[in-house]
Amino acid sequence: MNEQIALSVQNVYKVFGKRPAEAVKRMKAGKTRDEVSALGTAAVIDASFDVRAGEIFVVMGLSGSGKSTLIRTLNGLQPQTAGNVVVGGTDISTISDAELRKVRQQKISMVFQHFALMPHRTVADNAAYALEVQGMAKAERLARAEKVLKLVGLEGWGDKFPAELSGGMQQRVGLARALCAETDILLMDEAFSALDPLIRREMQEQLVALQADLGKTIVFITHDLNEAMFLGDRIAVMRDGRIVQIGTPDDILTHPANDYVAQFVQDVDRTRVLTAGSVMEPARAVVNLSGGPRNALRTMRDLQTSAAFVVDQRRTFFGTVRDRDVMHLVESRAPDLAAAVRNGNGAVRAETPLSELFGLAVESPIPLPVVDDEGRLVGAIPRVTLLAALGNVPSSTTDIPIVESAPAPIPEQEVTRTLNKTSMGIKTSAEGGTR
Amino acid sequence: MDLEFRIPLGDWVDVGLDWLLATFAAVFAFIRTVFLAAYDSLEWLLTTPPSWAIIIVFAAIAYAARGWKLALGTALGFLLIVGVNQWDNAMESFALVIVATVVAILLSVPTGILAASSATASAIIRPILDFMQTMPAMVYLIPALVMFRVGVVPGIIATIIFSMAPGVRFTELGIRGVDKEVVEAGYAFGSSPGSILRKIQLPLAMPTIMAGINQVIMLALSMVVIAGMVGAGGLGGEVVASLNRIDAGLGFEAGLAVVILAIFLDRVTASVGKTSEPGGRAGAGRLAKQSLQNA
Ligand SMILES: Nc1ncnc2c1ncn2[C@@H]1O[C@H](COP(=O)(O)OP(=O)(O)OP(=O)(O)O)[C@@H](O)[C@H]1O
Ligand SMILES: [Mg+2]
């Protein structure tokens, strides 16, 4: 078995009601959820997915779509009707109650929507609950709890009772309790849904930070698309008990598997989710620095563009050049294109969210260059593409000049005349052209 | 035309009772011995010291539970009992109520836990409770008399049966009322059902269970008079005697003593329940912690 897989769900069904097994049998034979409704409520139908170690796997769907039921099968709180759930290599559908308790103590813990703290115990005792269950001595577990409480920002609150804390703080206790267990897997069922939007945002950010530090595998349930997009490395979208799509946030947004998902993602705040890398297009007007001014000018003429990106042999981005500047260089027979290169640091990184691009795009008359971690040019974002991404219109609309994205190029004849005039009979190679 | 038939239910009951008596005679004798011993020692404890000493102890309990007002009321009330010459009777009844209540709680709380843990158990237990509570209390006395002979024991048995129901109901209600998510959290972290019961369900259900126990005590007190009919003595015996003699004065004195006992027990047990209500969370936490340390 692949050790990268922390949690594996294989063809899991969960039916509530009188005759669950029969309902599963009929659904496997092709009957729909509604057709078997007399036998029971099919809350989860044929769910299969693997959660990789260290990822945040989000399950998203409307109320009643079966998210809670699904997550409760993952630690056996609600045993599935059919299928297998494998937690860290152990198939929990086949083990005894005592073994299942061991798995829950050692491998998988949970954070609850309404916190589920024990009101008769102090914050510290709540946080240390998992360790208490594991049989750790009191002094030791309280010391551990204190450390974890500090980690979630609740240092010094250990002696209080949950009712004395705000909602956000109570959920931090819930999180601390789960972290204290030191399990690799964390299940979170709408863990932030009961919190105010601002607190919620803060908790989301804290969770991402904690996850980066601790490397937990997290299965996170939410019905909030923005939350899903913010947290999820991958997202599973559920509808009426079925998982209709699993993919990265970008995938889900840009390639919704069906109309249901498309509608679901319609009102997401795309600017927070999409990155420069996900909407960029191939950069067409690219010239090579070592190719010289004449070559650059020729390329721009052929592409009918007034500006071009300048890169070196390794495609490291240097900046942009304007046709007029390059033409001056050519006229003055200057050999080096570098003299005409401007705003060398105007490039954006591929992982920059769209929300940060608007300011830049407004200021820039030409498409925004996008570079990778090593500063190499990987693409460009014309303003139209940016707008299209917001509306989720196919970016083929790029051709329609909604926004005049660059100043008009110098007429072709004029460029050709200049090139000919300055020609010294040297036949320039095709090198340094359009890549 | 009328339907003419007679189901010999009463005969069946008689036959069943005879069978029970023949088969479990030793069991009944054992129960009788144990209850009698418990009652006798408690009664001895309450009547041997001078009455003022007991009154001071009661007042102290009242003070600890509720404060000086209840302590003062308790002292005055019990002095009044002494004043109308009902002290010994009152202590006998008190002993009977305590023994019956303790047994009723020991039976009803686990039954309530069972009812809370399974829908089937609940469905079976509920009608039995209805039966026990609505059957006229005196009807229990007859088999109790047959099984345990005249004296205080049939009175205790009848009192237990009559007063158990709220103990079971409130325990079930309290446990079922515990936040499901909190119980689920217990399971999610790998606790066993027993540990969840001890550390989560019972502590959180405690205020409700205490309210049930308070009801049990009140019902037990109300049975005192009826117990008097089978020779349990105490205040009940006095009331029965006054009935026979048409002695309104004596009846009133004994009845007043019952009321004073009732108020004392009610206030004290009610405030024990209060301290563990979620309103006084810190108190609840302390209680639960203590019970943990004891465990
Ligand atoms: N214990 C149960 N007994 C019977 N039916 C249940 C039970 N739990 C859930 N269901 C049904 O299963 C379906 C899925 O419920 P579930 O709670 O998993 O949905 P959900 O996606 O978590 O919804 P929400 O966003 O409201 O929490 C619903 O139709 C629900 O009525
Ligand atoms: Mg849910």
Residue A348: the pLDDT is 86
Residue B295: the pLDDT is 35
Residue A241: the pLDDT is 92
In angstroms, what separates the C-alpha of B218 from chain A's closest C-alpha?
28
List the one residue out of B84, B82, B83, B58 whose CA is nearest residue B71.
Answer: B58
Of B185, B203, B284, nearest to A112 by CB-CB distance is: B185
Longest CA span, chain B:
72
Rounded Cα gap, residues B280 and B71, in angstroms? 22
Q: Which residues pair with A349 in a beta bridge?
A: A371
Q: Are A59 and A70 in contact (CB under 8 A)?
A: yes
Q: pLDDT tens digits for B252-264?
A: 999 999 999 999 9
> Does the pLDDT value for residue B281 go beyond 50?
no
How would you label A184-203 residue by residue, b for 16+ Cβ within 10 Å and e otherwise?
A: bbbbbbbbbebbeeebbeeb
Residue A199: the pLDDT is 82
Q: Which residues pair with A317 in a beta bridge?
A: A311
Of A105, A112, A129, nearest to B181 by CB-CB distance is: A112
Q: Are B204 and B179 in contact (CB under 8 A)?
A: yes
Residue A269: the pLDDT is 67
Residue A2: the pLDDT is 46
Quote the DSSP letter at residue B278.
Answer: G
> Does the pLDDT value for residue B152 go beyond 90?
no
Average pLDDT score over chain B: 87
Rounded Cα gap, residues A13 and B166, in angstroms? 42
Residue A125: the pLDDT is 95
End-to-end CA distance of chain A: 44
Three-class SS state of B146: helix
User: Residue B14 C-alpha to ligand 2 middle, in angstroms?
Assistant: 57
Q: How many residues does chain A have?
A: 435
> Does the pLDDT value for residue B284 go beyond 50?
no
CB-CB neighbours of B127 under 10 Å: 9
Residue B1: the pLDDT is 61
Please judge whether B281 and A105 are an interchain contact, meaning their C-beta atoms are less than 8 angstroms apart: no
List the one residue out of B99, B90, B108 whose CA is nearest residue B237.
Answer: B90
pTM of the model: 0.73
CB-CB neighbours of A80 under 10 Å: 27
List the one residue out of A117, A120, A249, A263 whose CA is nearest residue A191.
Answer: A117
Ligand 1 atom closest to Cα of residue A238: 21
Residue A427: the pLDDT is 46
Q: pLDDT tens digits for B17-62?
A: 888 888 888 888 999 999 999 999 999 999 999 999 999 999 999 9
Confirm or reject contact between A124 and chain B (CB < 8 A): no
Rounded Cα gap, residues B117 and B110, in angstroms? 11
Residue B284: list chain A partners with CB under 8 A.
119-120
**pLDDT tens, position by position, for chain A (435 residues)?**
445 899 999 999 999 998 999 999 999 998 999 999 999 999 999 999 999 999 999 999 888 899 999 999 999 999 999 999 999 889 998 999 999 999 999 999 999 999 999 999 999 999 999 999 999 999 999 999 999 999 888 999 999 999 999 988 999 999 999 999 999 999 999 999 888 777 888 888 889 988 988 999 999 999 888 888 889 999 999 999 999 999 998 888 888 888 888 887 776 667 767 778 777 888 888 888 888 888 888 888 888 888 888 888 888 888 888 888 888 888 888 888 888 888 766 788 888 888 788 777 777 777 888 888 888 888 888 877 777 776 654 444 334 333 334 566 777 788 788 888 776 544 444 444 443
Rounded Cα gap, residues A71 and A110, in angstroms? 10
Q: Are A23 and A45 in contact (CB under 8 A)?
A: no
Residue A106: list chain B partners with CB under 8 A.
190
> Does the pLDDT value for residue B179 go beyond 80?
yes
Residue A117: the pLDDT is 95
Residue B189 dihedral angles phi and psi, to the nearest 5°: -95, 10
List the one residue out of A136, A298, A101 whose CA is nearest residue B192.
Answer: A101
Q: What is the 3-state secondary structure (H, E, C) of chain A?
A: CCCCEEEEEEEEEEEECCCHHHHHHHHHCCCCCCCCCCCCEEEEEEEEEEEECCCEEEEEECCCCCHHHHHHHHCCCCCCCEEEEEECCEECCCCCHHHHHHHHHHCEEEECCCCCCCCCCCHHHHHCHHHHHHCCCHHHHHHHHHHHHHHCCCCCCCCCCHHHCCHHHHHHHHHHHHHHCCCCEEEEECCCCCCCHHHHHHHHHHHHHHHHHHCCEEEEEECCHHHHHHHCCEEEEEECCEEEEEECHHHHHHCCCCHHHHHHHHHCCHHHHCEHHHHCECCCCEEEHHHHHHHHHHHHHHHCCCEEEEECCCCEEEEEEEHHHHHHHHHCCCCCHHHHCECCCCCEECCCEHHHHHHHHHHCCCCEEEECCCCEEEEEECHHHHHHHHHCCCHHHHHCCCCCCCCCCCCHHHHHHHHHHHCCCCCCCCCCCCC
Please judge whether B190 and A103 are an interchain contact, meaning their C-beta atoms are less than 8 angstroms apart: yes
Residue A418: the pLDDT is 80
Q: pLDDT tens digits for B91-129?
A: 999 999 999 999 999 999 999 999 999 999 999 999 999
Confirm or reject contact between A333 and chain B (CB < 8 A): no
Ligand with minimal distance to A65 CA: 1
Residue B282: list chain A partners with CB under 8 A.
161
> Does the pLDDT value for residue B286 go beyond 80?
no
Overall average pLDDT of the B178-196 stretch: 94
In the block, tokens 């009919």 appear at: B229
Please judge whether A119 and B278 are an interchain contact, meaning their C-beta atoms are less than 8 angstroms apart: yes
Q: Which residue, judged by its Cα, is nearest atom 4 of ligand 1? A: A16
Q: Which two tokens stand for residue A297?
A: 């000018």
Q: Are A107 and B191 in contact (CB under 8 A)?
A: no
